[in-house]
Amino acid sequence: MMTRRTFSTLLAGAACAPDAALAQAGAARLAYYSGVGTDFTHYDVDVATATLTQRATVKLPASAQYAWPHPSRKFLYITWSNGGAAGAPPGSTQVPRGNIHGAGAYRIEANGALTSIGKSINLPARPIHNSIDASGTHLLIAYNEPSNLTIHNLNADGTIGAVVPQTAKIDAGIYAHQIRTAPSNKTAILVCRGNNPAGGKPEDPGSLKVFGFKDGQFTNLASYAPNGGYGFGPRHLDF
């Protein structure tokens, strides 16, 4: 069954893979990656015939949540969790909040294959989105419940380093859904979806949280929430 999560991870793979492969192997070869459950699979793309050829599959510790390429296009960063947004589907091994959450770094080989590098890291909750800052020195991870984000150093070899302790308290809004740095790399935006009213619970307002960003540190700059955030449920932004 094509769930929202499956579609999101398929889309993430499609968006990041072609440029990564082009940079290393020339225009003749494209790679496509899909995350379905714990399987993260590499496909060769034949543009002329619009066909995919399945190659190797990387087995993740839990279901793929998101993937994002390094600016160099040499590495791919994948997050996973066995938690679900609204409880576990029937017959699933997932649990509502989950108890396995992590992230790993993978080198993108010249043929598009993925090779795990370094040690994967454990995360405090289900990661709903991850991205890399424009300088390629930090991994940014957003969490939906509880709404939060963490920043991790990236080593020169592409492996994931230590978490960056924040000196200021981060305003993470309600139900974070995406974290991105602006092209200048001087600011970052956390997209907070909020929640629709359900089961007698009133609506939670959505917002865009804007931060100053320097050396892995976030400083609160502004919060954009039209109409107090009610009826405003953003999920993603792009530049």
- Give the SS3 label for residue 151: strand
For residue 131, pLDDT beyond 70:
yes
In angstroms, the Cα distances linking 22 to 37, 74, 109, 117 are: 27, 11, 11, 21
For residue 4, pLDDT beyond 70:
no
5 — phi, psi (to 5°)?
-70, -45
205 — phi, psi (to 5°)?
-70, 145
Question: Which regions of 70-154 does DSSP assign to beta strands (E)?
Answer: 75-81, 101-108, 114-122, 127-132, 138-143, 148-154
Residue 210, amino acid = V
Q: Are 138 and 162 in contact (CB under 8 A)?
A: no
For residue 33, how many C-alpha atoms fall within 13 Å in the half-sphere facing its CB?
A: 32
CA separation for the pair 164, 146 (Å, rounded): 19
pLDDT of residue 92: 54
For residue 109, how many C-alpha atoms fall within 13 Å in the half-sphere facing its CB?
A: 12
For residue 97, pLDDT beyond 90:
no
pLDDT tens by residue, 22-78: 444 445 579 999 999 999 999 999 999 999 999 999 999 999 999 999 999 999 999
150 or 86, which is more confident: 150
pLDDT tens by residue, 135-192: 999 999 999 999 999 999 999 999 999 999 999 999 999 999 999 999 999 999 999 9
pLDDT of residue 28: 52
pLDDT of residue 87: 42
Please tell me the chain's helix, strand, coil percentages from 3-state DSSP, rounded to the nearest 5.
Answer: 10, 45, 40
pLDDT tens by residue, 199-220: 899 999 999 999 999 999 999 9
* Residue range 126-133: mean pLDDT, rounded: 98
4 — phi, psi (to 5°)?
-60, -40
For residue 5, pLDDT beyond 70:
no
Read off the pLDDT band of 14 (50, 70, 90): very low
pTM of the predicted model over 0.75: yes
